[in-house]
Structure 1
Amino acid sequence: MNINLATTSEINEIAKFVTKLNQQKSTHIGYAGTEFDEIVATLEEDFVLENGRLAFVLLKNEIEEIVGAIGLDIDENSAEVWGPFEDSISEKELTTLWQTTLDQFPHVETAHFFVNLENTTQQKFIERLHVKKTGEYLTLTVSKGDFEPLNSQRLFPFQAGDEKDFESLHNELFPNTYYDAKTIVSRINEDNKLLLFKNEQQALQGYAYFEVATVFGEASLEYIAVSPKHQNQGLGTLLLKEVLQEIFKHDTIAEIRLCVENDNDRANHVYMKAGFKMDNILLGYTFNR
């Protein structure tokens, strides 16, 4: 068995391996996609290092086939873990693969895992790393055909000057989440939108952050929330419908995904009313050196 840092020439090989495993709930990892082209694009955009290397550590067998892989989508000193992905390797080999990953990226102090509830093998491995469990989440989907548009418009793009109010609300509602407020703001671009829900006095009542991949015809609703001060007024349903309407303006988007806390019964009821259906249950963990 050989363990090495991957190169860009191995992107297609890695994507094929990840695609095969991530299309099964028993080996599914939440951060990675399930379609080959989407995974290739993400590897090319977020994982390429200097000198033709990737932020992916590979374990290969004697005939040079990938049997284990761990990738890090790194943002300064923190990273989202793509993996572990493995095909019948031993516990010792998996441990060595993880330790090699840590050794390759010593500046990464915090690593976030997102693993399917049915992926019990990786749950057991991750929990042996003395991680902190950050929550249990549902991934939900809604199709354009299930959505009924509306005429109201109370959403506004995030602007300079909104930072303080947004950060305060996001940190209050999602204190241990995978994207903090500063990370969300840093990710805003033509395809990643942060929209704020305000009243006539321009007071922040809620917000939504979503990412659109028009090339793949996909959209992911990462966060949506109403301030506790303004709940129980029907604003959650209105906010959700306005966000869906904004996303479905993209001709290539036929389906929307979002991730919510599994025990948030009130919010989940709103999502189901809007046409969302459950896809996966995911467990979040945080590892600190």
Structure 2
Amino acid sequence: MNTTIEKAKDLKTLSLFLAQMNKEKTSHIGFCGEKPEEIHQTLKDDFIGDGGDVNFFVCRNDSGVILAAIGLDIDGMTAEVWGPFNQTSSVEKQNELWAHLLHANPAVETFQFFINKENTQQQLFMDEIKAEEKGEHLTLQITKKDFEDVGVMKSTPFVRSDFQAFEKIHNGIFPDTYYDAATIKDGLSNDHVLRLLKTESNEIQGYAYFEIDTEMGEASLEYIAIASEFQNKGLGTMLLKETLSEMFSYPQINEVTLTVENSNSLANHVYLKAGFKPKYVLKNYLLKR
């Protein structure tokens, strides 16, 4: 069978292919999405370079059908790899795609992969390219129909006078995270929400920050934390349930998905206690050129 490897041009067709592959755990790649419209939007936002080319390579057969694909979401010299996606048993075509991707992106030095634990084909590919396994992530999900809404809220919306105390807690718990306290504060809106749990004397006990995309019908719980001196009092579960109640109050939101380290930690117990159910496990791999 003759095949052609080229840069992706038709994003809608590529989105349909990726969504179809991600429906099955045996071909699933983490953080790429499962809805064609969601994937299409992400490709337009994050995968188009300065020259207008899409940073995604596809392998097509003689009829133009996509057989395999791989792309990069680049941030400086680091990239998250979307793929490899391969609906054939041909490792050769997959290796060719990977070689094309490396050649087209010489400035990228570090590659992150998130492979479903049941996707054995791509785990073998990780071994072949000598990528280092760094750990496992557990993806959890809760649906609106399975969630019991909280009647009375004890948490309150963030106000500007809370910033100094919030900054101390957030930057202390998450010192190297993608959103520092100032970034969260400056981006607050009707769809970017920060709620705080406080004592009667106005001391912050914990907080939760989430983002809503009403157009795509998506909700993401970015941060939830309880200050160390207030832990082990049931506040984490209470705050999580209140936050979910707020998120599900948006008519467009029917499910909430989050990813945590795959461990038996107290944090994971809180999520499960609130009603989250395991969806899948991802293996994280790191490769340095």
Q: When the two structures are superposed, what TM-score results if normalisation uses the length of structure 2?
A: 0.83
CA displacement, residues 37-86 of structure 1 (integer Å, 9 cap, x when unaligned): 22122222222223431121112233332211112122233222211111
Moved more, 215-224 or 196-205: 196-205
Residue 172 (structure 2) aligned to one of 156, 168, 172: 168
* 1-structure distance, mates of 2:103, 2:159: 38
The aligned residue for residue 30 of structure 2 is 30
Q: Is 1:71–1:82's contact at 8 Å kept on the other side of the alignment? A: yes
Which residue is equivalent to 2:134?
Answer: 134
Structure 1 residue 124 displacement after superposition: 1.7
The answer to whether the 8 Å contact 2:136/2:262 transfers is yes
Q: How does 1:1-289 map to 2 (within 5 A)?
A: 1-7=3-9, 10-145=10-145, 146-154=147-155, 156-157=157-158, 165-171=169-175, 180-181=178-179, 185=183, 188=187, 190=189, 193=192, 195=194, 197=196, 199-200=198-199, 205-289=205-289
- Aligned AA (1:113): F
AA partner of residue 8 (structure 2): A
**For structure 1, which segment, 209-218 or 100-109, has the greater mean C-alpha deviation from structure 2 after superposition?**
209-218
What is the DSSP-based 3-state SS (H/G/I as helix, E as strand, rest coil) of the residue aligned with 1:281? Answer: strand
Amino acid at match of 2:277: K
Higher Rg of the two aligned structures: 2
Give the whole-Å Cα distance in 1 for the aligned partners of 2:45 and 2:8: 15
1:36 Cα deviation after fit: 1.5
SS of structure 2 residue aligned to 1:32: coil
The 1:95/1:155 distance shift into structure 2, 3 A limit, reads farther
CA distance in 1, matches of 2:120, 2:286: 17
Further displaced range: 32-41 or 90-99 = 90-99
TM-score when scaled to structure 1? Answer: 0.83
Distance in 1 between residues matched to 2:228 and 2:110, nearest whole Å: 30
Displacement after TM superposition at 1:25 (Å):
0.7
* Aligned partners of 1:111 and 1:287 also within 8 Å: yes
What amino acid sits opposite 1:137 in the alignment? H
- TM-superposition CA deviations, 1:209-233 (whole Å, max 9, x none): 4332212322233443334443212
**CA gap 1:67/1:185 in 2 versus in 1, 3 angstroms:** farther
Shift of residue 207 of structure 1? Answer: 4.1
Percent of aligned pairs sharing the same letter: 39
Output the CA distance in 1 between the equivalents of 2:181 and 2:7: 27
Label 1:211 to 1:148 Cα distance change in 2 as closer, same or farther (>3 A): same
| 8 A contact 2:171–2:181 mirrored in 1 | no
CA shift for structure 1 position 163: 5.1
Following TM superposition, by how much is the alpha carbon of 1:132 offset from its aligned partner in structure 2, in angstroms? 3.2
Q: Is the 8 Å Cα contact of residues 188 and 194 (structure 2) preserved in structure 1? A: no
> For the Cα contact (< 8 Å) 1:220–1:256, is it kept in 2?
yes
Greater alpha carbon shift after TM alignment, 25-34 vs 222-231: 222-231
